[in-house]
Amino acid sequence: MAQRKVTAIPATITKYTAVPIGSKRKRRVAGYARVSTDHEDQVTSYEAQVDYYTNYIKGRDDWEFVAIYTDEGISATNTKRREGFKAMVADALAGKIDLIVTKSVSRFARNTVDSLTTVRTLKEKGVEIYFEKENIWTLDAKGELLITIMSSLAQEESRSISENTTWGQRKRFADGKASVAYKRFLGYDRGPNGCFVVNQEQAKTVKLIYKLFLDGLTCHAIAKELTERKLPTPGGKAVWSQSTVRSILTNEKYKGDALLQKEFTVDFLQKKTKKNEGEVPQYYVEGNHEAIIDPATFDYVQAEMARRMKDKHRYSGVSMFSSKIKCGECGCWYGSKVWHSTDKYRRVIYQCNHKYKGGKTCGTPHVTEKQVKGAFVRATNILLSERDELTANTRMVIVMLCDSTELEKRQAELKEELEVVVGLVERCVAENARTALDQDEYTERYNGLVSRYETVKTRFDEVTQAIADKADRKKLLEQFLHTVETQEPVTQFDERLWSSLVDFVTVYSEKDIRVTFKDGTEIQV
């Protein structure tokens, strides 16, 4: 039998890279530097990383310097917003880079999945990563195991930092310490020790927004007006949105208070935040700082906003008279019409929107703005002449119609019943999990409890809404009362007074126009 002979054929190219062994070609090397915050104390670290790796790469004869890719002030827990990182990976996959040098695994990524995915993707293209601190080369046989371990440790480090940061924030909230992103918060600057200091110039815009709203404008109309006036948004942009206007109108900080922890982070990796709907505690601090809008005005705006939402089928911010004038014959709202729109006799009138619709024509006349304004001035002065009796009656109405004591008792009872039903459901599910119950009986019992819960929950929601309605009604009446008590006789039409006092005007005839005020008082003029 012939003797077996084995001949070794040595490798001629480098594994992964396909570069011939012994090749003198220089490796194209890039560096990656990152700091996760934009604080001043991190600027030095960032610049030091860039300078160090530039010199480090250029100091090797066998390396060819490509570039230093950087991300400043960006977290490493995901790669979505790391433009420098994404550009580096793209260039590497395009064949422009052979080796990436970075400080450590934690500088590269604190997310195990992202780290491994990137390493494997680059590895398939023959691109190596060198983590200096851990002395890990990803093309090494042990590289992936080590990178998995170190990435997991880095991820847990990030989790710990996030939890510590969250704890610190919540501790500050519990202590009543408020903070905002002052660069994007209109009306206030950061003062000593992080306190709120009114920015007088920006405060003018805030006050204007509240005035325009009380004058009857919608958030959309206010946004259009601010844009036309070329007033900058909180972010310094030229175009306002109605959502920005709404956020200013509903932010309690403008009346000097602070509601803390409106949002919270639900995922430390993705940095996802969620509106706090009761998942974590909130803290309300009264009198936290100097107010731009007085509390009474702010509370009235909230009540008015709630009223508009409730009457959205009626309310329109096209003009101060939109959905404010009612036909005494059919009950429909008056709308504006333009007569002689193209000549010198042009005038705007208001008439019943259903005047010429259907078979029968409404006999109510049209009215002009001058007529409505005159009726308002006369009716308001009549109202003010009976100030003492009116205020006494309004206070009685507030006590009788806005008291929610019984509703709150009922709300507490229903809440307790809900908790009992939830406990029964949980016990039913747990019992079924422990022992083999008849499934038909279990399903019937479970469905019965769920049905009971839904019934009680519906009642609870109805009572809660009724309490909120009474609270809104109380705010409106209190604001009405405050206006009446402080208002001097009226000599001319005032838009803000019109908005704060009048519910609607009813037209029966030219000589019978009635103004209904927000307390329900009707005066014929």
Query: What digits encode the pLDDT tens for the residues 324-352?
Result: 899 998 888 888 888 876 777 778 889 88
The reply to whether the predicted model has a pTM over 0.75 is: no
* Farthest CA pair distance, the chain: 131
Q: Are 344 and 460 within one domain?
A: yes
Q: For residue 151, give the CATH number of its domain.
A: 3.40.50.1390
Asked if 367 and 437 sit in the same domain, the reply is yes
Q: Does residue 363 sit in the same domain as residue 249?
A: no
> Which residues constitute the domain of residue 254?
182-310
CA distance 173 to 32: 37
Residue 506 confidence (pLDDT) above 90: yes
In tens, the pLDDT along 241-282 reads 999 999 999 988 898 888 776 554 544 444 556 565 555 566
pLDDT grade for 42, boundaries at 50, 70 and 90 = very low
Are 292 and 346 part of one and the same domain? no
Q: How far apart are CA 355 and CA 461, in angstroms?
A: 40
How many structural domains is the chain composed of?
Answer: 3
> Are both 36 and 68 inside the same structural domain?
yes
pLDDT of residue 60: 87
Closest CA to 130 of 234, 9, 30, 4: 30
Q: Look at residue 82 and tell me whether its pLDDT is greater than 60.
A: yes
Is residue 521 pLDDT above 60, yes or no?
yes
Is the pLDDT at 170 greater than 50, yes or no?
no
Mean pLDDT (whole number) for 40-54 = 69
pLDDT in tens, 428-443: 888 877 776 677 888 8
The beta-strand segments (E) located in 103-243 are 128-131, 136-137, 188-190, 196-198
Q: Are residues 389 and 469 part of one domain? A: yes
pLDDT grade, residue 378 (50/70/90)?
very high
Could you tell me how many residues make up the chain? 525
**How do residues 104-116 score in pLDDT, each as one tens digit?**
776 676 455 567 7
Higher pLDDT, 182 or 154: 182
285, 176 Cβ separation under 8 angstroms: yes
416 lies in some domain: yes
What's residue 177's pLDDT? 54
Indicate the residue among 287, 310, 333 that finishes a domain. Answer: 310
Q: Is residue 74's pLDDT more than 60?
A: no
Q: Do residues 155 and 186 share a domain?
A: no
Q: Distance between CA atoms of 508 and 500, rounded to whole angstroms?
A: 24
